[in-house]
Amino acid sequence: MFFLKAGGGLLLAYLTLYLQGKILPESIPHPDGFLILVVYYGVTRTQIPATMMGTVAGLAEDSLSWPFGIHAFTKTTIGYIVSGLGSRFLLNQPVPQFLILLVGTIVEVGLQRIVLAMIGQGLVWPSPGALILQGLINAVTGVALFRFVDRFL
């Protein structure tokens, strides 16, 4: 069941990202399915499965973007941090999950910008309002999906 959930989640996140890129303009914020999946595995699993899911999800997301490897690094780091926090704190309730998704979005964007600056792509930060809006979209969508998966799958 573990591999079926993981594969289904990766496929769903990949297809939604692919279709969003084809249908919606870049200016419309949309949930980051890969981040939501990684945080879900970080909250519900130990560090090794969460880190592995972060790597696989990041590589899948990198297959649709450039430069290759940025998302793999950030998603792996987020999976490791969230699973570490999940082993020390109770993160299986909606409010902590909301907060971890909101903060996880901000940390992921910060890591991406730092890595891009390190490889010479420049250090360009998004506006704080756009970053918080993206975090809120991820948090609301993620908590709803967590409840659905925990109840029905």
> What's residue 137's pLDDT?
95
**Quick one: tokens of 130?**
């756009």
For the chain, what are the domain ranges? Answer: 2-152
What pTM, to 2 d.p., does this model score? 0.91
**Residues contacting residue 121 through CB under 8 Å, at least 6 positions apart:** 67
**Residues contacting residue 34 through CB under 8 Å, at least 6 positions apart:** 13, 14, 17, 57, 58, 60, 61, 71, 75
> What's residue 73's pLDDT?
95
Average pLDDT over residues 70-97: 94
| CATH fold of the domain at 2-152 | Arp2/3 complex 21 kDa subunit ARPC3 (1.10.1760)
> What's residue 35's pLDDT?
96
> What's residue 4's pLDDT?
79
